[in-house]
């Protein structure tokens, strides 16, 4: 994982900084799934100083904002930056006696970090019109876990199904599943000002049946 340091620190501090995450490493950053637990252990802070963790989604209005990627998907929603929001529930709030800081918390399942929202409530759909026809593409996350049997997002393409009778082709046409979103996790020492930014490519989330908005259809998944 890449660590971008925004203060001048001694080389020994840089050498003592390392991290681990539950997310999958790709290139110089991680693929993240909202709802997963993230953990790391960084050195370089003042022993005993308070350390805060923030999340921030950079603007995508001018294109993909991270230095590399996207790796998992091919489309993102053009949207402005989010507020920098402090995470108040890491396991620890201070560096230890050696200046190391351990954090473990869940990436929140929130539309601030992933504006495509939950199943059956997407905001990433877009319409491409070519007169006199209208082509609609539905963009869902690259990755969805625990998608329960019998449910499919969002539904099959009724026009393709009516013309071909091929349900699988009609289902795949409505499910390109290529949307991703950028996010940064920022760790900052309250006294030293030493901080680290970790870039993430959000590719999906863990979801529950309670996330679904009624009514919804149970349809077979090919």
Residue ranges of domains in the chain: 4-110+179-208
Q: Which CATH architecture has domain 4-110+179-208?
A: Sandwich (2.60)
Q: What is the distance of C-alpha 133 from the center of its chain?
A: 34
User: 3-class DSSP state for residue 169?
Assistant: helix
Mean pLDDT per 10-residue run, the chain (222 residues)? 32 33 61 88 94 94 93 90 84 89 87 81 71 71 69 72 88 82 94 93 83 64 56
Please give the pLDDT value at position 161. 86
Whole-number Å distance between alpha carbons of 221 and 151: 7
Whole-number Å distance between alpha carbons of 185 and 54: 6
Q: Which residue from 134, 166, 173 is spatially nearest to 152, judged by alpha carbons?
A: 173
133-137 and 29-34 strand pairing: unpaired
């Amino acid at each position: 994982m890449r660590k971008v340091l925004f203060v001048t620190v001694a080389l020994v501090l840089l050498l003592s900084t390392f991290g681990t995450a539950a997310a999958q490493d790709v290139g110089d950053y991680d693929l993240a799934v909202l709802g997963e637990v993230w953990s790391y252990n960084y050195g370089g802070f003042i022993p005993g100083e308070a350390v805060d963790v923030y999340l921030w989604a950079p603007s995508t209005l001018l294109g993909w904002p991270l230095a590399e990627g996207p790796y998992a998907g091919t489309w993102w929603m053009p949207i402005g930056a989010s507020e920098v929001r402090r995470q108040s529930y890491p396991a620890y709030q201070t560096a230890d006696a050696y200046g190391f800081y351990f954090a473990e918390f869940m990436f929140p399942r929130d539309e601030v970090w992933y504006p495509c929202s939950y199943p059956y409530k997407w905001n990433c759909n877009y319409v491409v019109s070519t007169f006199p026809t209208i082509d609609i593409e539905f963009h869902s996350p690259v990755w969805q876990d625990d998608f329960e049997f019998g449910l499919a997002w969002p539904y099959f393409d009724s026009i393709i199904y009516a013309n071909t009778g091929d349900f699988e082709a009609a289902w795949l046409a409505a499910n390109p599943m290529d949307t991703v979103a950028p996010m940064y996790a920022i760790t900052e020492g309250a006294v030293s000002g030493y901080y680290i930014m970790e870039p993430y490519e959000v590719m999906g989330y863990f979801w529950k049946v309670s996330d679904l908005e009624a009514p919804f259809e149970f349809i077979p998944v090919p």
